[in-house]
Amino acid sequence: MHIAKIVKQRNQVALVFYDENLNILEEQSFADTSSLNFFLQTLPRKHNVERTLLVIHDKKLDNLDMQIAASENSYYIR
Protein backbone atom coordinates (compact mmCIF):
# COMPACT_ATOMS: atom_id res chain seq x y z
CA MET A 1 0.00 0.00 0.00
CA HIS A 2 1.27 3.45 -0.90
CA ILE A 3 1.17 6.32 1.61
CA ALA A 4 0.32 9.97 1.04
CA LYS A 5 1.31 12.34 3.84
CA ILE A 6 -0.62 15.59 3.57
CA VAL A 7 0.06 18.59 5.80
CA LYS A 8 -2.49 21.40 5.71
CA GLN A 9 -1.23 24.77 6.93
CA ARG A 10 -2.68 28.25 6.87
CA ASN A 11 -1.27 29.25 3.46
CA GLN A 12 -0.40 25.95 1.74
CA VAL A 13 -0.96 22.21 1.54
CA ALA A 14 2.06 19.92 1.24
CA LEU A 15 2.08 16.37 -0.12
CA VAL A 16 4.69 13.64 0.13
CA PHE A 17 3.75 10.44 -1.72
CA TYR A 18 5.58 7.22 -0.78
CA ASP A 19 5.63 3.75 -2.31
CA GLU A 20 5.15 0.59 -0.24
CA ASN A 21 8.86 0.66 0.73
CA LEU A 22 8.61 4.29 1.92
CA ASN A 23 10.60 5.65 -1.02
CA ILE A 24 9.46 9.16 -1.97
CA LEU A 25 7.74 9.19 -5.37
CA GLU A 26 6.30 12.71 -5.35
CA GLU A 27 6.78 15.82 -3.24
CA GLN A 28 4.63 18.88 -3.99
CA SER A 29 3.13 21.99 -2.38
CA PHE A 30 -0.20 23.54 -3.32
CA ALA A 31 -1.93 26.83 -2.60
CA ASP A 32 -5.25 25.15 -1.74
CA THR A 33 -6.95 21.77 -1.29
CA SER A 34 -8.73 21.98 -4.66
CA SER A 35 -5.39 21.94 -6.46
CA LEU A 36 -4.18 19.12 -4.24
CA ASN A 37 -7.32 17.05 -4.88
CA PHE A 38 -6.89 17.38 -8.64
CA PHE A 39 -3.27 16.25 -8.36
CA LEU A 40 -4.15 13.38 -5.99
CA GLN A 41 -6.55 11.91 -8.54
CA THR A 42 -3.71 11.59 -11.07
CA LEU A 43 -1.54 9.48 -8.77
CA PRO A 44 -3.26 6.05 -9.14
CA ARG A 45 -2.75 5.98 -12.92
CA LYS A 46 0.64 7.66 -12.88
CA HIS A 47 2.14 5.18 -10.39
CA ASN A 48 -0.13 2.17 -11.02
CA VAL A 49 -1.52 2.25 -7.48
CA GLU A 50 -4.50 0.24 -6.22
CA ARG A 51 -4.79 1.60 -2.67
CA THR A 52 -3.25 4.45 -0.72
CA LEU A 53 -3.29 5.34 2.95
CA LEU A 54 -3.97 9.09 3.18
CA VAL A 55 -2.53 10.60 6.36
CA ILE A 56 -3.84 14.16 6.72
CA HIS A 57 -2.39 16.48 9.35
CA ASP A 58 -4.31 19.73 9.68
CA LYS A 59 -1.99 22.05 11.60
CA LYS A 60 -4.62 24.82 11.83
CA LEU A 61 -7.03 22.54 13.70
CA ASP A 62 -4.31 20.40 15.33
CA ASN A 63 -6.03 17.33 13.90
CA LEU A 64 -4.82 14.07 12.33
CA ASP A 65 -7.02 11.94 10.06
CA MET A 66 -6.36 8.73 8.13
CA GLN A 67 -8.35 7.13 5.34
CA ILE A 68 -7.79 4.55 2.65
CA ALA A 69 -8.30 5.60 -0.96
CA ALA A 70 -9.20 2.60 -3.11
CA SER A 71 -10.56 4.21 -6.26
CA GLU A 72 -9.63 7.29 -8.25
CA ASN A 73 -12.64 9.21 -6.85
CA SER A 74 -11.69 8.47 -3.25
CA TYR A 75 -8.44 10.47 -3.52
CA TYR A 76 -10.10 13.52 -2.04
CA ILE A 77 -9.61 15.56 1.12
CA ARG A 78 -11.64 18.37 2.71
Average pLDDT per 10 consecutive residues for the chain, totaling 78 residues: 95 96 96 93 91 95 94 83
Q: Residue 41 gets which letter from DSSP?
A: T
CA nearest to 77, candidates 4, 2, 1: 4
Question: What's the pLDDT at 72?
Answer: 76
Q: What is the pTM of this model?
A: 0.89
Q: Give 25: exposed, middle or buried? Use CB within 10 Å, 0-12, 13-18, 19+.
A: middle
Question: What's the pLDDT at 73?
Answer: 79
